Chains A and B, each alone.
Chain A
Amino acid sequence: MNKWNLIIDIDKCHNCANCFIAAKDEYVGNEFSGYSAPQPLHGHAWIRIDEYERGTYPAVQTSFVPKMCNHCDDAPCKKVGGDAVQKRADGIVLIDPVKAKGREDIAKSCPYGAIFWNDELQIPQHWTFDAHLLDQGWKEPRCAQVCPTGAITALKTTDQDMETRAAAEDLRPINRNLQTKPRVYYKNLDSIEKCFIAGRVIHQKNNVSECFENADITLKNKEGEVVSSTQSDVYGDFRFDGLDPESGEYEIIIDAKSSGVKSVKTVLGESLHLGTISLD
């Protein structure tokens, strides 16, 4: 049985907000009976985009993560909602706009904050994967269609195939600890879950300051083990990414060959820029 999945590549999202707007355009003012009641004009973000800024000036990297109902296979909303929440054979979870009337408990049941309470209609609402369109033969949900970068891909396939693919491409759900078997997968989660240490190396040459290119730079943890190594670029910049937040002490050893060796220590909380390190 082929089921719907969504794959979101965080590194490809540049926060154009089209997916967010498409989920407004489709649902605000529209009733799709059997699927969804109209979304209020303001306040609901059935697809929302969370922003994660890493680093400090001037080494800074912002990632954007579109989040929506995960259409969990083990959905807490379904457990709470009973027959007001339907899990379809194609994997899509639907909250029945009629049966769920007044059920604030359903709205509160989603650990991802993907259900919004419609005050006027007194119903819980979420992004339905555009099931009403897929059922009419649309090839993909609107968020995928409007995405200019290809950050969102909708995939209808077997669970087994999806699993293989997830393993091969390191696709993971947004919050692994929740164990709800989400059908929305993320690529490049490291871009928000991991940290970096950046820095810059300069030196004096012929009495002027120059960037130091190609210094061998090694990162060691507090046990003194080499975690990673890199080289400074033409601007003297270097960066170690993929480090765990709050992972404590590190030593950065800069081997600038004939220009000397320098070591800098830091404690990693969140991503940071060490500043400009002068070899002189």
Chain B
Amino acid sequence: MRLAIVLAGVSFALNATARLYPSFKARLREKKFVAQISTRDSAKGRYFKFGDDRVVSKAGTHPKPDMEITFRTAELGFKLLTPPFNHGDFVNAMKNFNMEMSGPDDITLFFTNTISLMQTIRWKSGTKMPNGETRFVNNTNGGPLFVYVKDGKIVRMTPLDLDESDASSWEVKAQGKTFSPERKTTISPHGLASKSLVYSSKRLMYPMKRVDFDPNGERNPQNRGISGYERISWDEALDIVSGEIKRMKREHGHGAILCSHSSHHTWGNIGYYLSSMHRFMNAIGHTKMALNPDSWEGWYWGAMHHYGYSMRNGAAETYTRLEDCFEHCEMMVFWASDPETTSGSYAAFEATRRRMWAKELGIKMVHIDPYNNHTANFLGGKWIPVIPGTSPALAHAIAYVWMTEGLYDMDYVRDRTTGFAAFEAYILGTEDGVPKSPEWQAEETGVDAATVRALAREWGSKRTYLSAGGKGTTFGGANRSSTGTQWARAMVCLMAMQGLGKPGINFGNLQYCTPVDLNFYFPAYAEGGFSGDLEGTASAVQNYQRMPHLPSVNTVGQKIPRLRIPEALMDGETHGYPTNPKSIEGQFARFGYPAPGHSKVHMMYKYGGSHFGTTMESNRLAKAYRSPGLEFVVNQSIWNEGEAPFADVILPACTNFERDDIGEWAAAGGYSHHNQGQLNHRVIAMQHKCIEPLGESKSDFQIFLDLAKKLGLSAYFAEGKTELEWCQMQFLSSDLPKKISWSEFLKKGYYVVPHANEQQVPETSYKWYAEGKKKNVPEPHPLPAEYGESYLEGLQTQSGKIEFEASSLKRFDDPGRPPVNKYIPSWEGRQTTDLYTKYPLQLISPHPRYSFHTKADGKDSYLCDIEEHRVLVDGHYYWTARINRQDAEMRGIKKHHLIKLYNDRGAVVCAAIITDRIMPGVIHSYESSAEYKPIGIPGESVDIGGCVNVLTSKRHQTEKTSASAPNACLIQVEKWDFSSEIGSVAQENAS
């Protein structure tokens, strides 16, 4: 009886909503069908006739309903259908087959979405402004934004000015002063340029098919990247793609579909690749692209062996406190570290003011980098240019000075480390007869011995923060070189000698240090949104228990290392070493492709098009795209760039400004646990759908849902929920409901988490370790089994201490990684004489300053007009490369001349920037160009797009790693002119 009442209520509510909302009324007319809800024995039920202005419904059962929902019992039906709805109960009912839904996907999905629309249609987003604009909120890889919209068009985007309704800002007292951040959020240039990315002329506006691709006839894979495209309908596109998915499984079997994607996405937990894409790809089963830890390489494959932190890919703790730095630290050594460029990945310029304060307080600064980078130029201090790839030699010489002059913390070394004798024997040369003295390193590094001694003595006698890499705790160009593992290992050894964790002695550069409240929970993107992917995301850590949703599993065990996709496609076999953060040893488990008994890859589902810009020796990839064995390529992308024009079918996705999503600023989670420790204010944003998707583009969620419909998977994929409802689910799974109602959050668009009070702020990183206490910083790793003694006692290493001689490397034979860190000269550098004679310049290609990987580059964006980023020459915006004045004069190169950077691997044309900020013999050009524009046959001709990774080597740092080494790269540079035949082709292409 009660179920009957509830069911009658459903039909009443549908018609009541239709009376209130004309759009809902129109929706009711959209589809003609009969839906029926009943108990499994049909004893009780009701059916609903759709297709008119109002739903006609009757008690009882219909002889031929188009769709049915059945409940095992009337009680269950009543419980599930009575508000407030509990999705967990639905999930449990589905998992136990106590509730079932049958019927064609387009009808069931339409029905469930219509039911939920009764609620969501009442939801209101955004703040009305007096001038008729609506202020929405959104989030980017470079910070949150207010988005002002008028008449369906974005007017402007600004960082957030916080007001009285937002939580107060923290204050930190140190050195008799009070420090407090400005009451606003900062924004990176790639975030601020977002409007130009939305309205970019490079947007894909409708589905397309390569003109000479016929799924039922000639496929012409050799023409990928060459032929043009024709517009097709969504229906046709979805038919081809879903048809190919089925065909792959039918004709080739397990593993034939490869999913390849970038490591980043437009911001938002629901639309993120780890969310929608993982859920869909797991639902169809796919060969996985095994990501190498691009930005962490040296730390993951090297540093980790000395002190653990596998769950951070070998990065150090991120809990240093502002007070510790300001009260105790006397010097900061930035080594391969340019935080003003890399912004801690997502944290915009939140830490900039803090470093300005440090300078005002008189903390000395040293910058070790071949380039007088933006941080060095901005903060000043001592710049020590070092020849690329030789930093470990410099580090060893510093250790040498400390050892010979007694400038290290002997008590700490005795009590808190192991293996020092072996390290000492190597450094002092008692082992090999070669003392690693300042004189020894001078020839290698280009740093004179006197400078090394001066630096070592300063460092050995002053409490020093080592800012290793941009985050201060990891990353850095030096870790992305052939000697990257050696450098990162050396960084840990140096800090161990100085007493890591003692007051004022730590890893860091004030990037992480604010007293934001890290105990307030909101899911980070690495938790996988609604993917339910317990294996492939950090979902299991927290969100899976907090947000009821179905799990998803990729049943295919086969994987291909990202940097070996070209070999897999062209040669049909390759191998790699995994990024497995569970343990220190996880990385040793070599895996091969193809996996035993699996199909090789014949279809690629490509998400975005970034890899030309980010894959070493990237011409390989262009060639691989044209392999005959690769039968089908679909690319789902927002912009027509990079790899998109190498696909057979292109699906146009929209930006995060055109769909509903939710996400917290800088909250990466996973490897970057508590990444919000960089921020001045934690901002959790409702990422409003600010405008309708442009053209025929759709959200990634919607595209996957549409494909899922064709595969009968839509109910499984979306669980009857829309993107907006999943946003609410994320909201409900967090600590937000204790502080703000859903409707207020949805309307206002953001919540500032109040900062922590003194007692809630964790102790400074490694203080626990230096003092021999139990681990007390709030990171949920290492995993319990990784402790050698009692839980929370010591580090993850076998001894529980910092190991100068790494136990883990003793059991694994990799010639490039001996247990005691040694200087092994680069396999491509000034020491490789033959190659160096031919290619006498070293290319370094750090992460870019204005764009974020390929995000915001190209795309006709505002960034095109920033001269340091791209320069307009003869109608084409060329990527820039920095060359030392002397090297330029020698070659007759002047400002903004087009220059050809080349070696045996390829050639790229860039616009020259002449500067004394780069050391002679080194070329500096950022990696991650979004554009790849070969002027002839793709993979075999000069690129004018700016993908300098065309020039870098695919070789791994050491034999038994999958570590990339783009900063070990020799090239030659010469003036480029368009007089040659190939040049005139380029000019035509450019214009």
Contact = CB atoms under 8 A, between A and B. Distances in A.
B368 to A, nearest CB: 12
Interface stretch (B466-474, B631-639, B821-829, B859-867): B859-867
Interface stretch (A11-19, A71-79, A258-266): A11-19
B208 to A, nearest CB: 24
Nearest to B378: A14
Contacts of B353: 148-150
Contact of B377 (A22, A45, A61, A202): A61
B868 interface: yes
A210 B193 contact: no
Interface in B153-189: 153, 155-159, 161, 182, 184, 186-189
Nearest to B865: A42
Contact of A22 (B192, B451, B872): B192
B100 to A, nearest CB: 51
B919 interface: yes
Contacts of B196: 24-25, 28, 41
Contact of B158 (A45, A146, A213, A276): A146
B382 interface: yes
A266 B382 CA distance: 23
B920 A25 contact: no
B372 interface: yes
Contacts of B872: 42
B410 interface: no
Interface string A143-160: 001101110000000000
A53 interface: yes
A60 B916 contact: yes
Contacts of A276: 448
Contact of A208 (B153, B439, B868, B916): B439
A268 interface: no
A21 interface: yes
Given A24-B196, A42-B864, A146-B187, A56 B158 contact: no
B383 A20 contact: no
Contacts of B193: 21, 24-25
Interface in B931-962: none
A58 interface: yes
A202 B448 CA distance: 11
B919 A25 contact: no
Given A17-B850, A56-B916, A235-B454, A149 B352 contact: yes
A180 B448 CA distance: 51
Contact of A210 (B450, B862, B917): B450
B377 A62 contact: yes
A80 B850 CA distance: 38
Contacts of B186: 148
Contacts of A208: 438-439, 449-450, 453
Given A16-B349, A53-B917, A57-B916, A234 B865 contact: no
A273 B276 CA distance: 56
B195 A235 contact: no
Contact of B157 (A25, A29, A43, A53): A25
Contacts of B457: 234
Interface in B445-479: 448-451, 453-455, 457-458
B192 A55 contact: no
Interface string A132-145: 00001000001001
Given A62-B377, A145-B159, A236-B450, A25 B349 contact: no
Interface string A235-274: 1110000000000000000000000000000000000000
B356 interface: yes
B199 interface: yes
A211 interface: yes
A29 B352 CA distance: 31
Contacts of B448: 202, 209, 276
A15 B448 CA distance: 31
B391 interface: no
A142 B916 contact: no
A24 to B, nearest CB: 5
B866 A145 contact: no
Contacts of A16: 188-189, 340, 349
B325 interface: no
Interface in A29-73: 29-30, 41-43, 45, 51, 53, 55-58, 60-62
Given A62-B917, A237-B382, A211 B454 contact: yes
B884 interface: yes
A164 to B, nearest CB: 25
Contact of B349 (A53, A149, A234): A149
A26 interface: yes
B382 A57 contact: no
A15 B374 contact: yes
B203 interface: no
A96 to B, nearest CB: 21
Nearest to A44: B865
A25 B884 contact: no
Interface of B is mostly: mixed
A235 B863 CA distance: 39
B885 interface: yes
Interface string A84-122: 000000000000000000000000000000000000000
Contacts of B131: 136
From B187, B188, B458, residue with most partner A Cβ within 10 Å:
B187
A199 B438 CA distance: 21
A14 B374 contact: yes
A233 B130 CA distance: 58
B709 to A, nearest CB: 36
A43 B187 CA distance: 23
B862 A21 contact: yes
A22 B866 CA distance: 13
B720 interface: no
B348 interface: yes
Contacts of B915: 53, 60, 62
Contacts of A20: 865-866
B133 to A, nearest CB: 10
A276 to B, nearest CB: 8
B385 interface: yes
Contacts of B184: 145
Contacts of A26: 156
Interface string B887-923: 0000000000000000000000000000111011000
Given A209-B448, A211-B450, A55 B916 contact: yes
B192 A210 contact: no
Contacts of A62: 372, 377, 915, 917
A236 to B, nearest CB: 7
A146 B458 CA distance: 37
Given A234-B458, A235-B382, A60 B917 contact: yes
A21 B192 contact: yes
B187 to A, nearest CB: 6
Given A18-B187, A30-B156, 14 more contacts: A14-B378, A15-B868, A16-B340, A17-B863, A25-B862, A53-B915, A53-B916, A58-B372, A136-B130, A202-B448, A209-B448, A210-B453, A213-B454, A234-B457
7 nearest interchain CB pairs?
A: A148-B349, A57-B916, A14-B378, A209-B450, A211-B454, A60-B916, A24-B862
Interface of B: 130-131, 153, 155-159, 161, 182, 184, 186-189, 192-193, 195-196, 199, 340, 348-349, 352-353, 356, 372, 374, 377-378, 380, 382-383, 385, 438-439, 448-451, 453-455, 457-458, 850, 860, 862-868, 872, 884-886, 915-917, 919-920
22 contacts: A14-B374, A14-B377, A17-B189, A20-B866, A21-B192, A21-B863, A25-B156, A41-B862, A42-B860, A42-B872, A57-B886, A57-B916, A58-B372, A149-B353, A150-B182, A150-B353, A208-B438, A208-B439, A209-B448, A211-B454, A234-B454, A234-B458
Interface of A: 12, 14-18, 20-22, 24-26, 28-30, 41-43, 45, 51, 53, 55-58, 60-62, 136, 142, 145-146, 148-150, 202, 208-211, 213, 233-237, 276
